[in-house]
Amino acid sequence: MASTPLHASTSVGASSSSNIALPTRRQHLPPQSEFRFELEPGERISFRLLPGTGDAEVFGAPMVAGEGKWYPFGEEAKAAIASWTGAELEISIWSCFPVSLTGVPPEASPKLAAFESVSDEPSPTFTTHSKVHLVLERARLQARAQLRSDPALVSSLANVPAALEPSTSPISFEDAGSSNGNATAYRPEAQGPRIMVVGGESSGKSSLVKFLANYALRSPAVCSVGSAPAASKEKDEQPEVTGWWPVIVNLDPGDGAAPLPFTFSALPLSPIPTAFLASSSPALPYGLTTSTTGAIHPTPTSAHIVSPLTLWLGRDNTRENEMHAKRVVDWLAEGVERRMARDARARMSGLLIDTSGVITADGRNRYSWIQYCARAFKVDTIIVLGHDKLNIELTRLYGHPGSGVTVIKLPKSGGVVELDDVYRARLRTLQVRSYFYGGSGPAKITIPDLSDPEGKATKEVPLPGHDESLGGVSTLSSFSSTLPIDLMWIWRVGAEAMAPSSALPIGAQRTVTQTQLVKLDPGTSSADQATLLHSIVALIQTPRGIGPKVGAAKARAEAGVETHEDEDELTDDEILGSPVLGFIHVADMDLIRKTITVLAPMKGKLPVLTGLVGTLEWTDA
């Protein structure tokens, strides 16, 4: 479908600082089609839905038509804009190449993105994806009806002992018989849909999860346990909020989700304020969250996250230490079940589980990782995206009536982009940088400063149409602090951080498990120094306080950190299951002064001084 160029003097947006004009063009979207685009480094593209021309949405998030309402994308974003009825889009593209001092790029006509196209086939938004949403909507309405029909059920579910007093050691789901164990807070009554999306790498799993989440948030249903007869005068005066409150569970440590890669997380969503998961930057795969950049709170342009739960894995995949990954899943599943027991809205809205891509080697053990996660989160539906072998194997496993799991195969969208390792590495660097420094800010160009009488001065001004930070993330001023090396306790998982067996006393033996923690000693060990320098450290909230019993107690007291001398030592398992409070970057180490310099996203004392380290490294350049 051909684009219609606009004259180069067409004004893009409004600018109070100048009358900058950029070339734009119009793009027609036929009904049930989508406009796909891929950006290169340094490129930005902005879209405006022209009023009265139809509807448009991005991964299920609706676009609002308006004269000055632009939707910017950048940082190598790869996305698609779909339309049910057809629409007219206005497009402006900017790249960080030299711009003339008049503020107008040298191109004679509006630019094209590095890649863009209008799909020939109907968008999956209007075929498979929307049908899946309708199935989930019915399941949510059934769960809501069950809760409304039995008012005592809500209180009964919230008072499950396992939900009131979290276990210090959640059950393992290694055996199929443990899937409905009484040791968890799970009960089958009034459960909303629990969906797990699986498939190969770069198959569109995260895109489908975002779509289903956005459609749940924009649902016209009222997510309330109040029965219809109980509608009171107060309810009539103040309309109830519509939309579901689903929980996104991210089990893909490689791509990175809130807050950083190398983690597992549960993100309870809320339709208050009215907002959706943004997709303007791949650094924010599920939009802006409270924990995405540490100090930033959700804005009206991003979905609101309620008490996210993040656990540290420390690797970009689960295959290197599957035993450890399964144990982290145990802890995450327990945390999710406790929340679902206490929060009726999340319970009836259900789970949307994103997973890492499967590879050929995973089939040799019958995709045991997928089976494990399905048991842990009590999954009732598995959606397979474009993977025949995986679909056949899962159908064999769950095809019998007693499995309680339905397997659905969906085709892989033609708009899916294959991501290589180089791109993934750049994406992780971008995500880490965004955590500490916030968004990249608005696009700016240099123009003459007319207030200079000599006419030599220039100034930077935001570029209209690109004058907002991507995803509403403002720039942060990170904070560096220097601490004594022995002030922090930092652990690493697994035997690779331990001294070799030859270093043990003669005759001594050691049993090492894949979930054993090794405390780093950067003050004396050169290997630990190399491990820690430039690493990202996850600060964790341990269940019974923190702190060494000897050695650093004085330093910790001077830092204002409470110690608990009468407590037992924390177990490795408790530390593995401790939620992440935030992240710091080890920028430098002074072995002479025995100090460590760390970077945090906000100023002030660190909330805790106990952390976990893995293989996530970053150089602040």
pLDDT tens profile 64-106: 998 888 899 998 999 999 999 999 999 988 876 544 434 444 4
Contact 6, 48 (CB under 8 A): no
Average pLDDT, whole number, for the chain? 81
d(CA 441, CA 277): 19
How much is the pLDDT for 175?
Answer: 63
Q: In one letter, which amino acid is 494? A: G
How much is the pLDDT for 550?
Answer: 33
> Does residue 294 have a pLDDT over 90?
no
How much is the pLDDT for 514?
Answer: 78
Contact 589, 530 (CB under 8 A): no
Minimal CA–CA distance to 329: which of 350, 306, 313, 316?
313
How much is the pLDDT for 283?
Answer: 85
How much is the average pLDDT of 16-32? Answer: 76
How much is the average pLDDT of 479-508? Answer: 72
d(CA 478, CA 540): 20
d(CA 531, CA 538): 14
The model carries a pTM of 0.86
How much is the pLDDT for 186?
Answer: 87
C-alpha angle 80/85/91, rounded to 5°?
A: 45
Q: In one letter, which amino acid is 398? A: Y
How much is the pLDDT for 506?
Answer: 60
> Does residue 274 have a pLDDT over 70?
no
> Is position 34 annotated in a ligand binding site?
yes
> For the chain, what percent of residues have pLDDT higher than 90?
47
Domains defined along the chain, listed by start: 3-123+441-472 (2.60.120.1030), 125-226+239-410 (3.40.50.300), 479-617 (2.40.30.330)
> Is position 207 annotated in a ligand binding site?
yes
324 in helix, strand or coil? helix
- pLDDT, tens only, 409-423: 999 988 899 999 999
Q: Name the E strands within 488-605.
A: 489-493, 517-519, 535-540, 580-590, 595-600
How much is the average pLDDT of 466-485? Answer: 81
How much is the pLDDT for 300?
Answer: 36
- pLDDT, tens only, 332-380: 999 999 999 989 999 999 999 999 999 989 988 899 999 999 999 999 9
How much is the pLDDT for 220?
Answer: 93
> For the chain, what percent of residues have pLDDT higher than 70?
76
Minimal CA–CA distance to 89: which of 128, 37, 129?
37
How much is the average pLDDT of 204-217? Answer: 94
Helices 322-342 and 368-376: crossing angle in degrees, nearest 10, is 20
d(CA 186, CA 163): 9
Contact 264, 313 (CB under 8 A): yes
d(CA 604, CA 480): 10
How much is the pLDDT for 108?
Answer: 37
**Which of the four pLDDT bands, split at 50, 70 and 90, describes residue 299?**
very low
How much is the average pLDDT of 51-57? Answer: 96
How much is the pLDDT for 272?
Answer: 78
> Does residue 149 have a pLDDT over 70?
yes
How much is the average pLDDT of 570-585? Answer: 91
How much is the pLDDT for 619?
Answer: 92
Task: Give Dmax (Cα) for the chain.
Answer: 85
How much is the average pLDDT of 590-613? Answer: 90
How much is the pLDDT for 552?
Answer: 44
Q: In one letter, which amino acid is 21? A: A
How much is the pLDDT for 266?
Answer: 94
Alpha-helical regions (H) of 377-505: 388-398, 421-437
How much is the pLDDT for 259?
Answer: 81
Contact 354, 257 (CB under 8 A): yes
How much is the average pLDDT of 454-460? Answer: 74
How much is the pLDDT for 566?
Answer: 40
Tokens of 555: 């330093």
Find which of 18-27, 106-115, 125-134 is predicted with most confidence, using mean pLDDT.
Answer: 125-134
What is the radius of gyration, based on Cα positions, of the chain? 26
Reply yes or no: is the peptide bond before residue 282 cis, omega within 30 of 0. Answer: no
Residue identified by tokens 């003339």 is 100
> Does residue 123 have a pLDDT over 50?
yes
Top-confidence residue, 119 or 162: 119
How much is the pLDDT for 306?
Answer: 55
**Which of the four pLDDT bands, split at 50, 70 and 90, describes residue 110?**
low
> Is position 456 annotated in a ligand binding site?
no
> Is position 202 annotated in a ligand binding site?
yes
Contact 258, 289 (CB under 8 A): yes
Minimal CA–CA distance to 289: which of 314, 313, 265, 312?
265
Residue identified by tokens 């940082």 is 75
> Is position 203 annotated in a ligand binding site?
yes
How much is the pLDDT for 614?
Answer: 95
Q: Which conformational region is residue 438 in: left (phi greater than 0), alpha (psi within -120 to 50 degrees), or beta?
A: left
- pLDDT, tens only, 504-553: 556 545 445 778 899 999 988 899 999 999 999 999 988 765 554 333 44
Could you tell me the strand order of the sheet in which 517-519 lies? 479-484, 595-600, 580-590, 535-540, 610-617, 489-493, 517-519
> Does residue 232 have a pLDDT over 70?
no
Cβ-Cβ contacts under 8 Å for 330 (sequence gap 6 or more): 170, 171, 172, 173, 376, 577
Q: In one letter, which amino acid is 327? A: R
How much is the average pLDDT of 453-460? Answer: 75
Contact 45, 93 (CB under 8 A): yes
Q: In one letter, which amino acid is 523? A: G
Minimal CA–CA distance to 41: which of 105, 99, 96?
96
How much is the average pLDDT of 185-191? Answer: 89
> Does residue 278 have a pLDDT over 90?
no
> Does residue 212 have a pLDDT over 70?
yes
d(CA 223, CA 204): 28
- pLDDT, tens only, 424-439: 999 999 999 988 988 7
